[in-house]
Amino acid sequence: MESISNTSAVQLLVRQARAAMIEFRSASQERVDEAVTAIAWALYEDSNAAELAELAVSNTKLGNITDKIQKNKRKTFGTLRDLLRVKTVGAIEKDEENGLIKYAKPVGVVAAVTPSTNPAATPINKCMMAVKGRNAVIVAPSPAGWITTNAAIQKVREQFSIIGVPENLVQILPAPVNRPMTEELMKACDLVVVTGSQNNVRGAYSSGTPAIGVGVGNVPVVVDETADLDRAAQLICASKIFDNGTSCSSENSAIVLDEVYSAMRECFQRHGGYIANPEEANRIRSSLWTEPGKLNRKLIARDVGVLIHQFDLSASIEDTKFIIVEETGIGPDFPFSGEKLSLVLTLYRASNILDAREKIRKILSYQGTGHSCGIHTNRLSRAKDFAENLDVVRVLVNQAHTFGNGGGFTSGLNFTLSMGCGTWAGNSISENLSYRHFINITHLSTEIPEDKPSEESLFGAFLREYHPNYRIRGWWLVR
């Protein structure tokens, strides 16, 4: 009976979505941009941003209200900036040299699977991108975040009603959301976009529907001897504590070179870092993980005062913003080397820059494959070396990851809350999710002057090097 109910509910939503798309398909670019702006306003407006932040913390017990308000507004504002600068209707690109004109088309009904960590910002972000491509979207939220996500979606539909856009362009699975219903939606839609648990990502890839999933975060950053240590500590601290560490881009490990290790340690302390002693570190470990590889959900994304009490630390609640644990090992036997989703930062010492790079490699191989890393340095060559030699999608230089990885006003990366990690992490994209992933492209090709080079120009150098006695139709001469 439950599966029939799930199927019926999903089929109704999909039918409504397809009907809304038919009505919206002929919308002009200006009309599409009005709809996208309406979605943004539903979350960006001050009272809505605050209400949805309060709901999120109340219902999920994750993060804090002040930062969620900022996230709701900042991510929405930045995404709207990006989307209003691009075309997704009609001819969006002309390549006269190659005789090509590219036309954007919708991908269809999008299933947007969203997490409890950002139950308002992430679904709104995906809805903006999907509707920019003239698609309909059905949100499948985490059960823990449904109340907040539903409230956000209803605010979008209210804005659509005001401007006269089909409300069913944006819908949400009814409560109680469960895995069978989400799986049914994945199969019924035209594209699945998943942010959240790796179980959901794997489910999307095995649904039979084209899918985009994202990987696990566990960002390591290096601080070298040339860095502005105080600024590096300030940026890492601000990024780490934002929304109590809920972001997948939040720094999880800092790798500091030997010659500035002690000085950097002091900088962290000045910016609110409490360095746990070995005995306290053991208590943190036993409390933060209920079993190997499984974080204690009662402690993730909680206020630092809760952690200090739970870990029985001697830290001052007034002075402490986050907790630092010094570590030497990496891998399953050293859980501090993984993602912690909490106000806990792991601190490593590196003998030189190559040792630091190798530690990044090992940390990401354990957890966070392909996602991101960073370096605080005055030597750009070191950052370029990381980018060339490490299998990551993003390398940030002298930036706070939480405010740069998913787009920033001083970062060229586009705004998003879903970050692909490439095939390294089993993902289909190696970039930030954007409007481009929500459009199909029709290529109009017209004839151009023949572009056919000679055989000699293509094969000559190769043959001279490896087949010096080979002749082709008379143009090849034996040297």
Q: What are the catalytic residues?
A: 248
How far apart (Å, rounded) are the C-alpha atoms in residues 200 and 179?
Answer: 9
- The answer for residues whose C-beta is within 8 angstroms of residue 357's C-beta and 6 or more apart is 222, 385, 386, 389, 390
- Can you point out the beta strands (E) in 62-179? 90-95, 100-106, 109-114, 136-141, 170-172
CA atoms within 13 A on the CB side of 187: 12
3-state secondary structure of 242: helix
AA letter at 144? A
Radius of gyration of the chain (CA): 25
Q: Is 291 exposed, middle or buried (0-12, 13-18, 19+ CB in 10 A)?
A: exposed
Distances from the Cα of 435 to the Cα of 256, 268, 427, angstroms: 37, 38, 17
- Can you point out the beta strands (E) in 289-364? 289-291, 294-295, 322-326, 344-350
- The answer for residues whose C-beta is within 8 angstroms of residue 10's C-beta and 6 or more apart is 173, 181, 184, 185, 188
3-state secondary structure of 301: coil
How far apart (Å, rounded) are the C-alpha atoms in residues 287 and 335?
Answer: 12
Contact between 48 and 155 under an 8 Å Cβ cutoff? The reply is yes
Residue 467 main-chain phi, psi, to 5 deg: -135, 65
CA dihedral 193→195→197→202, nearest 10 degrees, is: 20
How far apart (Å, rounded) are the C-alpha atoms in residues 273 and 320?
Answer: 6
AA letter at 228? D
How far apart (Å, rounded) are the C-alpha atoms in residues 288 and 361?
Answer: 24
Buried b (16+ CB within 10 A) or exposed e, 433-445: bbbbbbbeeeeee
- The answer for residues whose C-beta is within 8 angstroms of residue 5's C-beta and 6 or more apart is none
